[in-house]
Chains A and B, each alone.
Chain A
Amino acid sequence: MPTRVLIPSGVLGLGFDRAALQRGAAMRPDIIAIDGGSTDSGPYSLGAGVSKYARAATKSEWAEIMAARRIAGVPLVIGTAGTCGADATVDWMAEITREIAAETGESLTIARLYSGQPAARVQHALAEGRVLPLTPAPAISPEGLGQMTNIVALAGAEQIQAALATGADIVIAGRTTDTAIIAALPLARGENPGACWHGAKIGECGALCSTNPTSGVIMVDFDRDGFTVQALAEGAACTPHSVSAHMLYENSDPFILYEPGGHLDVRGARYQALDGGRVRVEGSLWVTGPYTVKLEGARVAGYQTTILAVLRDAHYVAHARDWVARLTGFLQGNIQRRMGLSPADYALEFRLIGVDAALGGLENRAGAPVEVGVLGIVTAPSQAIASEIGKLINPFVLHYPLTDDEELPTFAFPYSPATTDRGALYEFALNHVMRIDDPMSAFRLELETLNARGRDAKAV
């Protein structure tokens, strides 16, 4: 009997075809799995420990998926809950789940799998030579680890299996690899390991592997020889091309994919079209290796204030770069005199929208824009300093002339006040793996029961 995994969409919060989800729930899946996040949107989520998506949207989608779970009567697992999968966002997702359960009155066991790493654990591993850099890796130190606001390890199949083994109805997992939540049950049931990881990789973005990428819902069947994938939305189909091309997506290497405990090699995979827009894949290989988990970490890299001005004067548009160069030099002198700060104490950058804001020094085209947007970005060790610099530069961004003997220009500020404090800037500070002997040694599992009937509600 194959193991059937229903995937409502590539990530919770993007929506999915509801009719397709209902259809999927009725097709006897063995588990429902959905990804809760990624690093796609940058370091802010992990740095601050918050979700990217709105709580209301998350709750309403999660409620629908919980309803599908009820119909199917199978476990539901979400990985990388709350975009970053930090402990705080696992708790956030658990709270949403409790609210929904209170509204529906259903009795549920929830397992929370935490991926957060205390700095001390990683410092200890570093001292023992068990923290290894990937390419390229930021330099790290014990002190640096201690300054990170969140460190997570990416859970693999073993940790998800441990959570499922509790018998929980719903598993809310912190940071996991995109694939582990899909591969875990098929692997536990002895399905073909290469197929488990490859099918999981194809399925983890939902219907992106089909001809209707936004339709969300995907079903993957795993067996001893391979996997079969189908898109469930009306009119969406998987083709050998759409499925094999998905390995290109967001991978630096389309053939080799590393996971905890080994890697997936799809060079020998064969893709075959079946009836009904389904695709059969066989020939993927799982190669075991030392057990390592990837680490992600974020730290505060400063505080920012921005200012935006629009140049519409043709003379200034034509000489925007010269103007920025002069202005920057002038302001650095001013900041030095009035605030006692040297350029090494802060960053002041002006980007020219309409010239090279997107590509910077790599830009190789020039044009004649009608107007140019000047985005000033101040980065400083505190918000107070960034804000102060913003106020200091404000009148000059508005009026600074291209030459000393011309009338002062006035540019366009879109709103008042002209400066905006952005708060903390976070940056990714780890691109490393940590070797561990026991897969659960770096992860924490907790259980709770909601709306228990005829037994005491308990937390384990």
Chain B
Amino acid sequence: MPRLSDIVVKVRSKNAGPFWVTVDVFCGDPATFARVSAALETGAVAALYGQPAQLLKRFDIPDLNVVKFSFPRPVVQGSAEDRDMHGAQWAHLLAEADIG
């Protein structure tokens, strides 16, 4: 089974302010977008990040071939437990996930 990063252009994550993180999956074309949009289960993505599914915001944006997820940051930016000030490493968890 391929990984998500094998079939999409890019997966990136960034802080959306100190309390939220946003993950963008750039699919690159409509066919890949359709496949990814159907194959990515919100619950599975939430579990990947250790978040309750009801806190995950999801946007499937066909105009941009992008699937976007946003959720409260597992730890607040800059707190003693924070490991990644800019929130860019979380993308790799999704990028490396198997995709149907």
Contacts and interface: CB of A to CB of B under 8 A. Distances in A.
A426 interface: yes
B48 A362 contact: yes
B93 A301 contact: no
B64 interface: yes
Interface string A330-365: 000000000000000001010100000111111011
Interface stretch (A35-43, A186-194, A229-237): A35-43
A251 interface: yes
B63 A244 contact: yes
A241 B84 contact: no
A245 interface: yes
Contacts of A379: 80
A136 B79 CA distance: 14
Interface of A: 39-44, 134-138, 241, 244-245, 248-255, 301-302, 304, 347, 349, 351, 357-362, 364-365, 377, 379, 425-428, 431
Nearest to A296: B18
A252 B80 contact: no
Contacts of B43: none
Given A136-B72, A302-B80, A431-B19, A42 B93 contact: no
State the 4 A-B residue pairs at the shortest beta-carbon distance, nearest first: A252-B70, A42-B78, A43-B78, A252-B16
B74 interface: yes
Interface in B76-97: 76-86, 89-90, 92-93, 96
B90 A359 contact: yes
B94 to A, nearest CB: 11
B20 to A, nearest CB: 5
B37 interface: no
B89 A252 contact: no
B57 A253 contact: yes
Contact of B93 (A41, A249, A362): A362
B78 A360 contact: no
Contacts of B79: 301, 427-428
Given A251-B22, A351-B83, A426 B78 contact: yes
Interface string B41-84: 00000001110000001010101101010101010111111111
B19 A136 contact: yes
A427 B90 CA distance: 21
Given A42-B18, A241-B64, A351-B83, 18 more contacts: A39-B77, A40-B15, A40-B86, A42-B82, A43-B78, A135-B72, A138-B76, A250-B15, A252-B17, A357-B83, A359-B83, A360-B83, A365-B96, A427-B79, A427-B80, A428-B19, A428-B76, A431-B18
B64 A252 contact: no
Contacts of B18: 39, 42-43, 428, 431
A244 B66 CA distance: 11
